[in-house]
Amino acid sequence: MKITEVRHPLVRHKLGLMRAAGISTKEFRELASEVATLLTYEATADLETEEVVIDGWAGPVKTHRIKGAKVTLVPILRAGLGMLPGVLELIPAAKVGVVGLQRDERTLQPTGYYEKLTGRMDERTAIILDPMLATGGTLVATVDMLKAAGCKRIKGLFLVAAPEGLRALEARHPDVEVYTAAVDERLNEVGYILPGLGDAGDKIFGTR
């Protein structure tokens, strides 16, 4: 499985700021978005382009544009929404499909309660957004959903990933490409990433 831990100095610096106890909602939200922008730059480096000739100021000029159907972004509710503005900074024309999952009380498996995907999924690269890749259960279920909708190329952007979540993804969907600002140490007994960021959804939305 392709895992890219983006070690750019700006990413490391900004993630370091996000780890501080007592960070404000404003700061955390801004940094989540900024790190998402930087991860997007890495994750889109291999998008295919095609040559086109356009009318330039001095006559016809050969230039490049991204080939094929537009990328689709897939934020996972709710924390994934915190990364969306930063990703849209770089891909303003991206289509956005949203998924929501919750744990089934009986099976303890994540099941979808909301799914609104874009059309032509079979032609698009999907980029899943979720700040925290923890156990991987939600991610695996999201990838199941995207593949069921016909999606063939899937990438995931995470601010922080746990080794346990990466292993779970590799076991079920080794073709998914992962971009993260950090692979942290481990999960604690209630599924939080250590050292991690705490509850990313609460920090982005200012709830608790």
Site for ligand URA, rule CB under 6 A: 79, 132, 134, 191-193, 196, 199-201
Known binding residue 122? Answer is no
Known binding residue 55? Answer is no
| Cβ nearer to ligand URA, comparing 144 with 199 | 199
| Cβ nearer to ligand URA, comparing 123 with 199 | 199
Known binding residue 150? Answer is no
Bridge partners (DSSP) of residue 112 are: 101
| Cβ nearer to ligand URA, comparing 111 with 188 | 188
Q: Give min distance, CB of 122 to ligand URA, in A.
A: 31
Please compute Rg for the chain using Cα positions.
Answer: 18
Q: Give min distance, CB of 178 to ligand URA, in A.
A: 16
Q: Give min distance, CB of 118 to ligand URA, in A.
A: 26
Q: Give min distance, CB of 160 to ligand URA, in A.
A: 7
Q: What would the DSSP string read from start to end of the chain?
A: --EEE---HHHHHHHHHHTSTT--HHHHHHHHHHHHHHHHHHHTTT--EEEEEEEETTEEEEEEEE-SSPPEEEEBTTGGGGGHHHHHHH-TT-EE-EEEEEE-TTT--EEEEEEEPPS-GGGSEEEEE-SEESSSHHHHHHHHHHHHTT--EEEEEEEEE-HHHHHHHHHH-TT-EEEEEEE-SEE-TTS-EESS-S-HHHHHHT--
Known binding residue 97? Answer is no
What is the rounded CA–CA span in Å between residue 173 and residue 106? 24
Length of the chain, in residues:
208
| Cβ nearer to ligand URA, comparing 41 with 192 | 192
| Cβ nearer to ligand URA, comparing 84 with 200 | 200
Known binding residue 133? Answer is yes
Known binding residue 201? Answer is no
Q: Give min distance, CB of 123 to ligand URA, in A.
A: 32
Known binding residue 134? Answer is yes
Residues that constitute the known binding site for uracil: 193, 198-200
Residues that constitute the known binding site for 5-phospho-alpha-D-ribose 1-diphosphate: 78, 103, 130-138, 199
